[in-house]
Amino acid sequence: MSKIQDTVRIPPYKFEDPLDDVAIQTLNDEYNGVLDKKLGLMVAVTSIDEIDDGVLIMGDGAAYHHVTFNAIFYKPEQQEIVEGEVIEIAEFGAFVRIGPMDGLVHVSQVTDDYINYDFKRGALLGKESNKSLEETNRVRARIVALSLKGKSVNDTRIGLTMRQNGLGRFEWIEEEKNKNKKGKKAKK
């Protein structure tokens, strides 16, 4: 959550609507999906703290108001553990939706196993482990590469890995937990 100051343009046909509501909608239309290197990706303008009296500009007819508003940003961090949904499988890896952004798990970062691409199923398959990764699977991954360049989410690059303990498809993580519990009981 961040506090930002800016000027918002309110067109004449919106003068009769509640000013705060129009300002929030206008700011959301203008800034949602915009990427700032320091703050991250703007997800939503949530509220207006202050809004000054408007100034009319000759020949425009709109009112320009100086505003202070609160906005929510999402900024992924290097080494952060994230959860998401696989949205696409390709021969070279899996695209994972992590909140408002997408990351890529390269085939070399899916598991320690050799991975084959099954074109018919649209899945990545482990050669020895028989683990599969398909669209709509929920996964936990770690951000290992991050490039937040440009002004939009299309300019970002997020590299993910699932090769560490506690990472991967949720079913794999659960299987590993159960295997570890059985191993501890056997030792007792």
The 3 state secondary structure assigned to 3-71 is EEEEEEEECHHHCCCCHHHHHHHHHHHHHCCEEECCCEEEEEEEEEEEECCCEECCCCCCEEEEEEEEE
At position 60, the amino acid (one-letter code) is D
Its pTM stands at 0.79
Positive or negative, the CA dihedral 116, 81, 44, 152 is negative
pLDDT confidence tier of residue 178, bands split at 50, 70 and 90 = confident
DSSP bridge pairs for 17: none
For the chain, what are the domain ranges?
Answer: 2-74, 81-187
Give the integer Cα–Cα distance in Å for 139 and 141.
Answer: 6
Average pLDDT over residues 65-81: 95
CATH superfamily of 81-187: Nucleic acid-binding proteins (2.40.50.140)
pLDDT exceeds 90 at position 18? yes
Of residues 180 and 21, which shows the higher confidence score?
Answer: 21
Please, what is the average pLDDT of the chain? Answer: 91
What CATH number has the domain spanning 2-74?
A: 3.30.1490.120
Kindly report, residue by residue over 133-159, the tens digit of the pLDDT: 999 999 999 999 998 887 777 778 999
Same CATH fold assignment for domains 2-74 and 81-187: no
